Amino acid sequence: MCGIIGIVGHSEVNQALYDGLTVLQHRGQDAAGIMTCDDDGKFFLRKDNGLVKDVFHTRHMIRLKGKMGIGHIRYPTAGCSTSAESQPFYVNSPFGIALAHNGNLTNTKVLKDELFQTDRRHLNTDSDSEVLLNVLAHELQNSSKLTPQPQDIFNAVAQVHRRCRGAYAAVAMISGVGVMAFRDPYGIRPAVIGKRETEQGTEYVVASESVAVDILDYELVRDIEPGECVFIDTKGNFYSQQCAENPVKSPCIFEYVYFARPDSMMDGISVHKSRMRMGTKLAQKIKREFPEHDIDVVIPIPDTSRSAALQLSYDLGVVYREGFIKNRYIGRTFIMPGQTMRKKSVRQKLNAIDLEFRGKNVLLVDDSIVRGTTSQQIVQMARDAGANKVYLASAAPPVRFPNVYGIDMPSANEFVAHDRNVEEISKQLGVDWLVYQDLPDLVAAINKKSDVERFDTSCFDGEYITGDIDANYLYYIDAMRNDLNKQNSDKSNAVIELHNN
């Protein structure tokens, strides 16, 4: 999972890009990058591993000149984690193009072969984002014009849709021409448009989430539609066109469960409101399955479960309390590579308030349960703090299948729900009882009032909406994602970086 942003303004955009990336930081903590373009068409780039605040210093910001630019934040994936894989990526032909991408291409190997054998293009990393950039560049090269026009850009994106499979929300910048953004025909990954009026004219921003639009004082216009491409030229003129043949709005449901900030709107859906409705659905299930429950207090596992937990406590008529204090200087454990780092970080990240647990029957509420290692430790923390009984409720169904569209979930056999029923999972986690959200209830909670045709729920039901995922691809993903492979990859990358330094 990553975050993207692009701005076309009438004044320097470096600070706005930086501010936008900071509020998208929850989408990735591994690397950050910004590329700007000045009036002469010259690109300026700064990218590196680390948080936004650590990657960009005053000396870097001064060099990022220009009235348009794009930015990216990345979280660790199964591939290489060196700074060479941080984004935006750049190619000098044609025109000079930079691109930042959120998602995952599922036919990367095929595209790599095509790019080398047919398109005669060289790739320097293992990133599918560089593949996407080169496919776009090759298609733009078919334009005979010295300066590509909007229709040339839309034609190129139409060809990208025909060649690329999987999930991609991308923002790209063409030297001296403008900024473009597009989503895959299923709209799996989010992207929104904002604008504001200035004395010099209209300025535009595109970003992964509306929170970036809000914080920069732009007006949220709408989402980029699945398959759509938008283009803003250097003068601030806005163009858009549907470039896919059969778009189907099918956003990833895990965005609403975990990744997105609660103050974001995506595809016309309030993340906060959807999580509150998840809490209501969970409360209804608890009333059905445990009508004589003895819950004394509802405690959220911060931060993403707060909205659901608060509404659940209200619907159950049970007291809500904050029982864990979070160290905000520790990253999100879900997106940390390797079990060793993950286990270590949980104790550093959370500390229990004994008074809220001692002698009570506690219902812990989490947004989802993936590996279960974090949940095990939190349950034990609650018991160590004196809880009489510990129950656990998940706002999402059991995660049983790998995500192939940009969420780097672990190998399937690392899921706590792998080959286990709810009772067995409950014993594994050490809780007195466990309740999961039902998938139909999750969908109903999120899709109360929207034009979403269906959601990508593949991590819960194994139904991959792009229709191109088979057992061989899942085996390949599994081999890439298991923690042992990741640890070996990290060691190899550390050796490479050591020699390079």
CA 379/CA 140 separation, integer angstroms:
54
CA 262/CA 89 separation, integer angstroms:
30
Give residues with Cβ within 8 angstroms of 117, minimum separation 6.
none
The three-class DSSP label of residue 272 is helix
Other CB atoms within 10 A of residue 208 CB: 30
Six token digits for residue 359: 């002698």
Six token digits for residue 248: 């189907």
| Structure letter (DSSP) for residue 97 | E
2 annotated active-site: yes
Active-site residue identified among 2, 229, 252, 459:
2
Helices (H), 350-394: 354-357, 373-384
Instruction: Please name the amino acid found at residue 137.
Output: A
Residues 442 and 238: beta-carbon distance below 8 Å: no
| Structure letter (DSSP) for residue 255 | I
On whether 304 is known to bind a ligand per the annotation, the reply is: yes
Task: Pick left, alpha or beta for residue 162 (phi over 0 → left; psi -120 to 50 → alpha; otherwise beta).
Answer: alpha
CA angle 116, 468, 111 (to 5 degrees): 5
Give residues with Cβ within 8 angstroms of 109, minimum separation 6.
none
Other CB atoms within 10 A of residue 310 CB: 17
Can you give the length of the chain in residues?
501
Strand partners, 69: 7, 36
Instruction: Please name the amino acid found at residue 313.
Output: S
Task: Pick left, alpha or beta for residue 236 (phi over 0 → left; psi -120 to 50 → alpha; otherwise beta).
Answer: left
Question: What is the edge-to-edge ordering of all strands in the sheet holding 433-436?
Answer: 319-320, 297-300, 361-366, 389-394, 433-436
Other CB atoms within 10 A of residue 309 CB: 29
Question: What is the edge-to-edge ordering of all strands in the sheet holding 178-183?
Answer: 89-91, 97-105, 166-174, 178-183, 228-233, 238-242
The three-class DSSP label of residue 234 is coil
Residues 233 and 178: beta-carbon distance below 8 Å: yes
Query: C-alpha dihedral over 16, 68, 261, 457, to 10 degrees?
Result: -170
Give residues with Cβ within 8 angstroms of 134, minimum separation 6.
91, 115, 119, 121, 123
List binding-site positions for Mg(2+): 304, 366-367
Active site residues: 2
Residue numbering of the annotated binding site? 304, 366-367
